[in-house]
Structure 1
């Protein structure tokens, strides 16, 4: 049985997003009922989950609209009206997806960084965390803004008449004139920044954990807990590789378009899951505490600093150590580079070399 590549993206995305929803739900249960507090880090992760569901819905409509198109029809003017509304749907959903994808990753990273702020006991570490928060927020907001205004008139990003005109062997003087920049460099640059920020976020807590005055085995165990984020880095690295292949040529964009969407789902959901799983240890805390007390072993709870109130239990706990010591935390004209360009993704319904990709196809290319 043949399954459209776009439909496979929807299936994989549904499974991963469903798993992310379960993990975040358990995280809220642990934080609210077992810890007694829900903070900004939890709300930021919930926002990322909502945006991820939005990405899944957009992926579904990408597959639905692309299933009604035929790559060969782009070259036949008489056939274009038959699929014009579906092509517009493809272009519009990709325009929405590019922004929601970057926003979802931004909130995942901010959730992790705000958690790091609660455990940052040294001034240097706090500065690093705050600087990373600013960096992630600025480049994500800039990327969303740039992708939303890819064309000087935003609606030109899904102008089917201007898009079809790219396939005319003889240029049509009556074709709509648009001013859009080639987004390929922006896509690759944003993907590279996402990968870089993933690595930075992974490394931030490592020096603090390795410097703890506890047995080496316990230090390595803590590093392992915080290194679950490697899953997101692997997914981000694979997507970065797919992105470079996708951007190499119009033909490659037709082949790798669905792979780009698939690894985008894997990257976002792996970030949500890996950042939330450490909080779920609280589900087993009471049983472990009872067993330790029964065996006569000392149990010391890990607390984070609170200003003006009694410290509360945080989601991590180790035997015979205080992981994080108490301390006080501180609260116009056409510009150069514009050129006619309309972005349309690869067909999600077929892996055909004639599919239309996300790069401009000139009549010379199509000849």
Structure 2
């Protein structure tokens, strides 16, 4: 589904709007990483389902499942890389979009600061995943994995690796916190818009679609807590952890791309408006009935139109004063009323009375 949503997003941005930005390209890269997660998860499910978890505690059965365990460990190692990259690109795509609509200096600085934190965290998480062990190949060694189910043997060479559970728990909490911060960043700007309350709430609702990713991230944190309790639980809940990681990244892509699909319905709305305007303009004007005793009025062509006035039907619109306002252009879901004074100015100018010509009788 995320692939279809991103495809429709590119269609709307390129063919209907005529502009594709860095935010769209970053989301495409996140989609590619998510497809990599899907392939890795499928391979991990195939390899881990080829043996029983009870065989891990039986030394006589371990040679039979060593190949399957090797495939499982390699898929886990690759998954940690692609998962962190996918989430990083999703968040950067959202922040690059925020940068295009940020007119407030404080909001813009907060966006840049969040960008820097996301970039540094993503790079650090990828490096930490690669260098889990001093010798990277020890991270997918079946012998080292089997040793975690045995009693400690001081005569056995111990690989120099850090405990990945603590890192993954920290990463899950950091991802959840960053999702909440990114969701709350534009709310002050949205609440300060001078638009009707109904439109303001609708716009906040569009941005609140990101709650879907936060819910998925919260469930993944809970599954990770179960997975990290013991080595046996890690084998039992491994597939569930991968599944909810996949749900988290895909829900982030979908929630960040759905608001851009409003252009698919714009043409229909414009067509309906045009039909209404044609009906209004086609309505014949009601003739003015003059009383029988009223003599015909003669217009002095020399005095009409009076100097300084314009003929009927040609009112002169005042030039609007240029004001600095949010650049909502790239965000297709925001109507023109989001500009601080545009909507009210147009309505007031439309309601201004037209000066009638003076008539001399």
Please report the TM-score for the alignment, with normalisation by the length of structure 2. 0.77
> Hey, what's the Cα distance between the residues in 2 that align with 1:277 and 1:316?
10
Q: Deviations over 1:28-57 (max 9, x none)?
A: 000000111111000000000000000000
1:263 aligns with 2:280: no
Pick one of 73, 89, 93 that aligns with 2:71. Answer: 89
1:201 aligns with 2:182: yes
Pick one of 192, 202, 226 that aligns with 1:221. Answer: 202
Q: Deviations over 1:314-360 (max 9, x none)?
A: 422426443799xxxxxxxxxxxxxxxxxxxxxxxxxxxxxxxxxxx
Pick one of 170, 183, 186 that aligns with 2:164. Answer: 183
Distance 1:268 1:45, change over 3 A: same
Higher relative contact order (CA 8 A, sep 6+): 1
> Hey, what's the Cα distance between the residues in 1 that align with 2:107 and 2:250?
27
8 Å Cα contact 1:35/1:312 also seen in 2:
no
Q: How many residues align?
A: 296
SS in 1 for 2:195: coil
Residue 170 of structure 1: CA displacement? Answer: 7.5
Aligned position for 1:133: 115
Aligned position for 1:335: none
8 Å Cα contact 2:56/2:146 also seen in 1:
yes
CA RMSD of aligned residues (A): 2.2
User: Which structure's CA Rg is the greater one?
Assistant: 2
8 Å Cα contact 2:100/2:330 also seen in 1:
no
> Hey, what's the Cα distance between the residues in 2 that align with 1:189 and 1:83?
31
Residue 216 of structure 1: CA displacement? Answer: 0.4
Pick one of 150, 158, 161 that aligns with 2:140. Answer: 158
> Hey, what's the Cα distance between the residues in 2 that align with 1:106 and 1:161?
33
Matches within 5 A, 1:159-174: 159-169=141-151, 171=153, 173=155
SS in 2 for 1:291: helix
Residue 256 of structure 1: CA displacement? Answer: 2.4
1:143 aligns with 2:125: yes
Aligned position for 1:106: 88
Distance 1:176 1:160, change over 3 A: farther
> What residue ranges of structure 1 are gaps of 5+ in the alignment?
1-18, 298-302, 306-310, 326-367
Aligned position for 1:120: 102
Aligned position for 1:13: none
> Hey, what's the Cα distance between the residues in 1 that align with 2:3 and 2:12?
14
SS in 1 for 2:332: strand
Residue 253 of structure 1: CA displacement? Answer: 2.5
Q: Deviations over 1:125-173 (max 9, x none)?
A: 0000000111111112111111111101100001112222333458383
Residue 246 of structure 1: CA displacement? Answer: 1.8
Aligned position for 1:246: 227
